Amino acid sequence: MSFLGVETSLTGRRWVGPGVEAERSAELLVQRTGLPQAVCQVLARRGVAPEEATGFLAPALRDLLPDPRGLKDMEKAAARFLVALGRRERIAVFADYDVDGGSSAALLLIWLRQMGHGATLYVPDRIDEGYGPNDEAMAALAAEHDLIICVDCGTLSHGPVAAAEGADVVILDHHLGGETLPEALAVVNPNRQDEDGSLAHLCAAAVVFLMLVEAGRRLRSAGRTGPDLMAMLDLVALATVADVAPLTGVNRAFVRQGLRVMARRDRPGLAALADVARMDTAPTAYHLGFLLGPRINAGGRIGQADLGARLLASDDPHEVAALAGRLDALNTERRDVEAGVRAAALAQAEARGFDAPLVWASGPGWHPGVVGIVASRLKEASNRPAIVIGFEDGIGKGSGRSVSGIDLGAPIQRLAAEGLLIKGGGHKMAAGLTVAEDKLEAAMARLGELLARQGAHLAGPSDLNVTGLLMPGAATVELAEQVEEAGPFGAAAPAPRYVFAEMKIHFAKRVGESHLKISFGDGIGPKMDAICFGAYDTPLGAALEAHGGARFHLAGRLDINSWRGRQSVQLRLEDAARA
């Protein structure tokens, strides 16, 4: 049954509320804990029992941190890392060009620097070299280094690892492993096929952090002290959110503690980036995913691939100021490039139809650095797995994003094994691929067939899940802060979405090109402000601006708005329906 009887909202979605069991659980939590109903609704949705509420709202990393030695090859990796440190060997860090890769590299570089040891950073160029290790780069690094550590890549790099003659290779990764592993000294990856999957939700930076935990344990056993790992959790938090890892279990604790560390502004690179992004409040998961992450990614997408990792690892205030400014400018350029590709890809995909198990688009000259973002937009528009591919000289480089419950990485890997792709890999929710133009149609047809077996074609327009009802008078700063304590919110832990029922719109104004700002109330109690980003890209903008005095149900998430030192609550409006 739909929530408030909304079967088709202004954006065409059905509203779905909590079930009877969830409502009963929320009531029990209210009675047992004394917490506000709005908070208890969030806890009930996460399956938190009354006796677990206190621990859930204040998760302790020490209680949730897994034993690093539970991962295969971890002890070999940590031991070899410490041998290189002790012998003052030459170490190279080969990192992916995204936020997870940059954060992973920065963790190693900072740790080594604090131990008085340097390392060479190598990040491949997205266009010239593509994702992951390549034969030429690995051979060149091996000629100059004793140990190569591949982070956020390498699990499928059999040839490049073999090309690293004369050097030991350690892989710290989280991407889906194949039936065989490269001939590396150690491959630490919770998504190896011979792992039990209990840590499959970790990003690469979390795997690197666990390796450093094990290294620290070994140092203490030898009577030595290593760097303060808790102070490095800002990097783990950043990577976890930006890589869209599920914010459950230890990941949630990583992000909670990491946000506290980040708020201290001890990391010069992140502080400089926060300043250019005009962040004027304490960092949240939203800031990591939508302000900091895209800027760090911009270097790997359309600029110099190593800019993000260098920014995160540097302790030079002049260098980080220059890098942050450069990344901010590249991010603006990236948005312009993305807009052109997005318009063309959406038109092509819509013409092909959104009802197939796979939505895809391709075009000549589409920049490889933005196809992943555009794939996300196609996925959101269609509620289907989506692939976007840019072609150059007959070779296409593409990126895919999936929807909940549909594994994209495994079918992509299978297509590569079947010879329909030049190469491909990834994980359940995201994947990359390289395909020859003459095999494009066959590859997409085969991928659609494999996704259909998982039921990808059965989903309708995505429902809007709502947490419960709220009145403007109850939406206080204090309540918003208490709700935030049940976070952080993100992948697998969606932020609560509240409905303000039968509201009258008192004021509506277009802001910028496509946003809408409104003030609303029930006519009796206090008014409340709301902001709807991208409102005019959907039917919401025009309908609410021309409200004509009608009443609406308004759905969205609570935000704390800071302006000139004063805080107030506003609604980040996501959907509406006529009352």
Q: Is residue 256 part of a domain?
A: yes
* Residue-wise pLDDT tens digits, 347-384: 999 999 898 999 999 999 999 999 999 999 999 889 89
Q: Are residues 318 and 445 in the same domain?
A: no
Domains: count for the chain: 4
Q: Is residue 335 part of a domain?
A: no
Q: Are residues 319 and 357 in the same domain?
A: no
Share of the chain above pLDDT 90, in %: 91
Q: Are residues 261 and 213 in the same domain?
A: yes
More confident: 561 or 215: 215
Q: Are residues 115 and 264 in the same domain?
A: yes
Q: Is residue 498 part of a domain?
A: yes
Residue 461 pLDDT level (bands cut at 50, 70, 90): low
* Residue-wise pLDDT tens digits, 514-555: 999 999 999 999 999 999 999 998 899 999 999 999 999 999
Cis peptide bond upstream of 182, omega within 30: no
Q: Is residue 530 part of a domain?
A: yes
Share of the chain above pLDDT 70, in %: 100
Q: Are residues 8 and 151 in the same domain?
A: no
* Residue-wise pLDDT tens digits, 195-236: 999 999 999 999 999 999 999 999 999 999 999 999 999 999
Report the CATH number that the domain containing residue 556 is assigned in CATH: 2.40.50.460
- Mean pLDDT for all residues in the chain: 95
Report the CATH number that the domain containing residue 229 is assigned in CATH: 3.90.1640.30
Where is the domain boundary, 429, 452, 475? 452
**What is the SS3 string spanning 495-554?**
CCCEEEEEEEEEEEEEECCCEEEEEEECCCCCCEEEEECCHHHCCHHHHHHCCCCCEEEE
Q: Is residue 445 part of a domain?
A: yes
Where is the domain boundary, 382, 417, 452? 452
250: pLDDT strictly greater than 90: yes
Q: Is residue 457 part of a domain?
A: no
Report the CATH number that the domain containing residue 404 is assigned in CATH: 3.10.310.30
* Residue-wise pLDDT tens digits, 106-135: 999 999 999 999 999 999 998 889 889 999
Q: Are residues 13 and 26 in the same domain?
A: no
Q: Are residues 53 and 147 in the same domain?
A: no
Where is the domain boundary, 402, 417, 452? 452
> Domain range for residue 26?
20-58
* Residue-wise pLDDT tens digits, 386-397: 999 999 999 999
Residue 429 pLDDT level (bands cut at 50, 70, 90): confident
Q: Is residue 70 part of a domain?
A: yes
Q: Are residues 517 and 403 in the same domain?
A: no
Q: Are residues 13 and 25 in the same domain?
A: no
Q: What are phi and psi of 256, to 5 degrees?
A: -55, -50
32: pLDDT strictly greater than 80: yes
Q: Is residue 338 part of a domain?
A: no
Q: Are residues 190 and 295 in the same domain?
A: yes
Q: Are residues 439 and 505 in the same domain?
A: no
261: pLDDT strictly greater than 90: yes
Cβ proximity of 78 and 68 under 8 Å: yes
What is residue 415's predicted lDDT score, i.e. its pLDDT? 97
Q: Are residues 48 and 68 in the same domain?
A: no
DSSP characters over 199-257? TTT--HHHHHHHHHHHHHHHHHHTT-----SGGGHHHHHHHHHHTT----HHHHHHHHH
